Structure 1
Amino acid sequence: MSAAPTIRKIGLTGGIGSGKSTVANLLRDLGAWVIDSDAVAHELTAPGGAAIPAIAERFGAAAIDASGALDRAHMRERVFADPDARKALEAILHPMIGVATQAEADRAPADAPIVFDVPLLVESRHWAGRVERVLVVDCAEATQVQRVMQRNGWTAEAVERVIAQQASRSARRAVADAVIYNDGLTLAQLQAQVRSLWQAWIGPLPP
């Protein structure tokens, strides 16, 4: 078994289209135990998910689609239009996500660093006490827009609305212990930065 990592818990965050998920996968390839808070949220809001009853009670039947899952398109429009609705949804989901991600962290091998992949790490505010380091993946807003348009088929306006709802780039960088500026990098260059950070924070690269 490998030696215990120098840094055990890392918070990974970045805006939509920043390339955060690619960095998460590169860390996973090196042996990190990656916990995807978005995936946890999807489980909580899937048909029969633990958050569905509370969401239906707070937001009504229109918030739930025909399958019994959260109607994401409906709620996206609703929280964009009403900040109080967004806060109410977060008040339901964030505590549940916290419990579920901690349960997943408890399953991690002792010799694996834990990476909490959290798009809203800055916004949710309670993550600072749960991680030892924060890694931010950053890029220009124009790059974010282009990437998401190509990936999701969204309009530029739709991407910009999401960006406006997220923490600013400066707010993320302000809490970062390290920033990977993922603009104009090849995958090999991005991988090299991730490997360098691993050596600085975790220890020797795996064989």
Structure 2
Amino acid sequence: MPKTGKARIVFLVGGIASGKSSVAAQLERLGAICIDLDQISREVLVPGSALLKDIAKEFGADLIQADGSLDRHKLALRAFVSAERTAALEALELPAIKKELVERIKCIQLVQKQAPCIVVEVPLPDKMGPLLELADEVLGVICPRELRRIRALDRGMSEHDFERRVARQLSDADLLALCDTTLDNSGDQESLKEQLQKWWNERFV
């Protein structure tokens, strides 16, 4: 159906090596504007930011390196030792990420009024609960774990790194439960492209 009014906000989710970035690139070619939430999470931690100061206060001033940047490895060692410490970090990070995301969405809607769709590429959807309320639709890219493993290794990722990343992500069943719509990326690129074109046509053509 034709899209009217403000741009539709779509959260794009998928496991490691599922093809999420490929889908985002195709959506951009179709006319969507994409926002990388992982990039925002890095930008809110630039030297001198309020969030960086709050994290240093919570987890230790020595996390700030000589150039003012965050020692991410040292933070990980302190923040991921327990569920409580991880929750403490998320309580600081998520409001800052949400605030920046909302501002970017508003800016796009104001400046690029003809954009039919704003796609937010979400790295860890289970950690983004407060953000999901912003989405009109959650679009998932689904691919069997073994096929994702093969694709990841073909791209040069080590087996250990793949397993480590998978362990931090939602199971396929939990990911499916978050999605309003899914794309099956167990086939070739042409199949994925056809599914995506159909999804786009149903909403914006």
Whole-angstrom distance in 2 between the partners of 1:70 and 1:60 = 11
Whole-angstrom distance in 1 between the partners of 2:134 and 2:63 = 31
Whole-angstrom distance in 2 between the partners of 1:171 and 1:12 = 15
Equivalent of residue 195 in structure 1, options 185, 194, 197? 197
* Of 71-80 and 157-166, the range deviating more from structure 2: 71-80
Q: CA deviation at 1:125?
A: 1.5
TM-score of the aligned structures, taking structure 1 as reference length: 0.83
> For the structure 1 residues 50 and 199, does the alpha-carbon distance in structure 2 shift closer, same or farther, using more than 3 Å as the test?
farther
1:177 maps to a residue whose letter is D
Equivalent of residue 140 in structure 2, options 136, 139, 152? 136
> For the structure 1 residues 138 and 75, does the alpha-carbon distance in structure 2 shift closer, same or farther, using more than 3 Å as the test?
farther
Q: Deviations over 1:133-163 (max 9, x none)?
A: 1101121222333444454x55323322222
Q: Provide the alpha-carbon RMSD of the alignment.
A: 2.5
| Number of equivalenced pairs | 200
Q: Which secondary structure does the structure 1 equivalent of 2:131 belong to?
A: coil
**Corresponding residue for residue 129 of structure 2:** 125
Whole-angstrom distance in 1 between the partners of 2:166 and 2:136 = 26
Whole-angstrom distance in 2 between the partners of 1:150 and 1:48 = 39
**Corresponding residue for residue 177 of structure 1:** 180
Q: Which secondary structure does the structure 1 equivalent of 2:139 belong to?
A: strand
Q: CA deviation at 1:65?
A: 4.3
> How do residues 42-81 of structure 1 correspond to structure 2 at under 5 angstroms?
42-81=42-81
> For the structure 1 residues 96 and 173, does the alpha-carbon distance in structure 2 shift closer, same or farther, using more than 3 Å as the test?
same
Q: CA deviation at 1:117?
A: 1.4
TM-score of the aligned structures, taking structure 2 as reference length: 0.83
> How do residues 12-91 of structure 1 correspond to structure 2 at under 5 angstroms?
12-91=12-91
Whole-angstrom distance in 1 between the partners of 2:188 and 2:153 = 19
Q: CA deviation at 1:102?
A: 0.6
Q: CA deviation at 1:78?
A: 4.5
Identical amino acids, percent of aligned pairs = 33
Q: Deviations over 1:33-69 (max 9, x none)?
A: 2121111011112333442111211222453445432
